[in-house]
Amino acid sequence: MPVNTLTETTPLTLNEGNATSPKGFRGAGIHCGVKREKADLALLVSEVPASAAGVFTTNKVKAAPVRYTQRAIAGGRAQAIVVNSGNANACTGDAGLADAAEMADVASKALGLDADLVLVASTGVIGVPLPMDAIRSGIPRAARELSSDGTAAAAAILTTDNFPKTAATRLEIDGVEVTIGGMAKGAGMIHPNLATTLCFLTTDASVPPAVLRGALKRAVSESFNAITVDGDTSTNDTVLLLANGRAGGPSITNGEALRRFTEGLTRIASELARMVVRDGEGATKLIEIAVEGAASDLEARQAAMTVASSLLVKTALHGGDPNWGRILAALGRSGVEMNEATTDVSFGELLVVRGGLGVSGVSGAAAAVLEEKEISVRVGLGVGDGHARVWTSDLSEEYVRINGSYTT
């Protein structure tokens, strides 16, 4: 019986890779009139029906496209995703749900697909009806512009983002090269569960729907559910994954092949999630919070997220202030098992707290570390073997400016 072998080949660079990098996927992005000027409508289409999985916001206020797509994806099959930006279609009642269904219907007719195979997502301002005339005319135009270049689609899903977020990687499974790609948007309202974003992942691997759901759930747990910018979870959070099998080869169902596929999927999701944090509204720094020595992995995640969510920690890191006391205070209120006397804190490789006490003579060096654009804060609790890693951003005056005038 042949051994299932899997080796990694050279990953695609971030500039090369996106959601249309896997075989059999095409994308388009246009301006249809939801926004005043910028691209605001995207299509992502597989050549053939694909296995489909999704993870959605846990907010009890769910946007119409979230409710529509949760039902549509229940069968585990999809072939296209239609996305608008500039309008969330959230808190719009039955009319909003009808508009989401119409988006799927218009897209299915333009693409020659069954409407049940079209998923819908929206992002933007809450509480405003969709301008359906613009969307009705825009979707057929986008369908005519589908191509293997997914850059326009990645740009069309953005709101307050400063740059498109795309990534892809190649893996070899049983001698067959498969590709995993994706695109995401997000800069504000970022926090588990789910982190505020739209993310669309694709692969040309063959993976059954039930297996795909498990792989996506794990990937999201270690990526989009491990980031925070401002502590807010949106009404529209959606991560969708399509697997169309166009690479050929056996179906991935278990064992080493599934482990490595999930590892590759997690790598792409994590890269996209870090981009979301790096592009956080008003953010100037990407900050990793790593906790080790916790009573459990769950408690390590809880401690790390408490530190990452602390406004006092985030503002101190923005200003380059090595105020480690704020970190200890956050750990102390996190609800996890800890002992101040066994707790260490490092900024990068620089130890600033040993056994709950500040290390003397390192303040200047610590401030220098915090001037970097990417910062690692490492915490050792010394009470167990649990560990976790999350990402956050600093909090600046610019965040207040952006969100003080979001609808005006």
Active-site amino acid positions: 196
Q: Which is it for the CA torsion 28, 32, 37, 40, positive or negative? A: negative
* HSE-CB of 60 using CA atoms within 13 angstroms: 0
Residues paired with 198 in a beta bridge:
185, 238
Closest-CA residue to 342 (of 297, 389, 383) = 383
Are the C-beta atoms of residues 393 and 285 closer than 8 Å to each other? yes
What gap in Å lies between CA 208 and CA 253, rounded to an integer? 7
Strands lying side by side in the sheet with 350-354: 227-228, 386-393, 286-294, 374-380, 344-347, 350-354, 357-358
Is-contact 347 375, C-beta < 8 A?
yes
- In Å, what is the CA distance from 60 to each residue of 63, 85, 205? 10, 21, 34
